[in-house]
Amino acid sequence: MILSRRSMLGGGAGLAAALTAGAANARVLPSAMEPLIGPNYRPTDRDEVGMWQQMARVEEELAGSNLLMKDPALNDYLKRLIGKVGGPAARDMRIYLARIPEFNAVMFPTGFTVIFSGLLLRMRNEAQLAGVIAHESGHFLRKHQIRQWRDMRTKSDVFAVLAMGAGVAGGAAGVYTGDLARLAQFGTILSLLRYNRTLEAEADAMGVRLLAEAGYAPTAMAETWDQLIRELDASARYRRKKRRRDWSLFSTHPSPESRMADLRLSAREVTVPGRVYDDGRARYLSAIAPIRTMLLDDQVKLNDPGASQTIVETLAIDGWNGLLRFHEAEVWRLRNRAGDDARAAQGYAAAVLYADAPPDAWRWHGVMLQKAGRIAEAKAAYTRYLAMAPNAPDAPFIRQLLQ
């Protein structure tokens, strides 16, 4: 009897701890976010020195990876951008661009960051991209990785000692404490995840502040989240699924909705009335112009029509063009639902009305016309394709068709 009452009490305490650990995090204020490091930062603490030594090897490996996009102009552009929103460490941070068609960016403990090409695809302007880079800079400026490591070390130490102590005490008193230890372990894990979410919230707040200080509209970060939420929803809807909503207790990041809401409030706080903020859209578009076709192509080939279509439509908020129309048609053609062939044919036809239609738009326009039996028009489209891309891999084949 005594035994069960004790376990009940213990279980209740553990559960209470777990619940507190999982409670929603309060917003971190941008004004509270001072950088914790200055220029030319070098670690002096033993654990951080060890971490930096390992990371030097990681960076060396990464810098030679064949996933990286080496285009010097584009890399210079990104370097200038992190130079603008990197706060005191702007000159110390390194930025790498990897060809991975996903929405992501990662900051490593020693101040190098990897931007995924899928991020460049989704950003509508320079301010949005600068917002993500500012968030990543925030992780470095606030020393997040080492703080998280220390948090984990302390919590696992405390857990190990408590579990062993409880076991021995329980052994002496003749009580089995295994269940209690398991519950405490659960609480430890939850509190680790919570700490991670706090750090993400810090990076968001720090990012908003850096963004505004650099003269970009601080609302850009909230816009990015709004775009991502719509994309995730559309992607799930197409697959007749619901977007993963198991953020909360077990996630390492706060939910997109709460991040968006917090980012909006924070943006309002740091906005200076009367100041004109830049979105740098023209600069952004000219920087990514050489790779934009490739970015869209990589996304379309992921076979995620819900997401791809939303991305194209989001980019088209700033105006349709031949490139976007062409990839919209590609999404339909590859989706291949009933009626999609006709939809794609119309899409290619619409794309070639724009002066900036890519050669492939003319090619596919020709293919669709040929299928429909409109041979003369198809030939005209093919001729245009060959004129634009005389060295295309299939050029001899198309020439043969024209004869």
Judged by beta carbon, residue 145 or residue 309, the one nearer other proteins is: 145
- Which of 168, 282, 289, 372 forms a contact with other proteins (CB under 8 A)? 168
**12, 38, 39, 171: residue in contact with other proteins (rule CB under 8 A):** 171
Q: State yes or no: residue 251 binds other proteins (CB under 8 A).
A: no
Which of these segments, 78-86, 149-157, 208-216, 378-386, binds other proteins (CB under 8 A)? Answer: 149-157
| Pick 45 or 76: Cβ nearer other proteins | 45
State both tokens at 194.
């919570």
Q: How far is the CB of 192 from other proteins (least distance, A)?
A: 11
Q: What is the DSSP string of 155-207?
A: HHHHHHHHHHHHHHHHHHHT---HHHHHHHHHHHHHHHHHHHHHHHHHHHHHH
- For 98: left if phi > 0, alpha if psi spans -120 to 50, otherwise beta; the answer is beta
The C-alpha atoms of residue 93 and residue 139 are separated, in whole angstroms, by: 12
Q: C-alpha distances in angstroms, 88 versus 206, 217, 298?
A: 12, 20, 35
Told to check if 290 binds other proteins by CB under 8 A, we report: no
**In this chain, which stretch among 86-94, 155-163, 193-201, 373-381 interacts with other proteins, using CB under 8 A?**
155-163
Interface with other proteins (CB under 8 A), residue from 16, 106, 164, 387: 164
Q: In the stretch 191-230, what mask flags binding to other proteins with x, by CB under 8 A?
A: ----------------------------------------
Structure tokens at 126: 């320079």
CA distance 283 to 116: 19
| Sheet order of strands, 112-116 included | 94-98, 112-116, 105-107
The yes or no reply on residue 39 touching other proteins (CB under 8 A) is: no
46 binding other proteins? (CB under 8 A): yes
Interaction site with other proteins (CB under 8 A): 46-47, 49-54, 64, 149, 152-153, 155-161, 164-165, 167-168, 170-172, 174
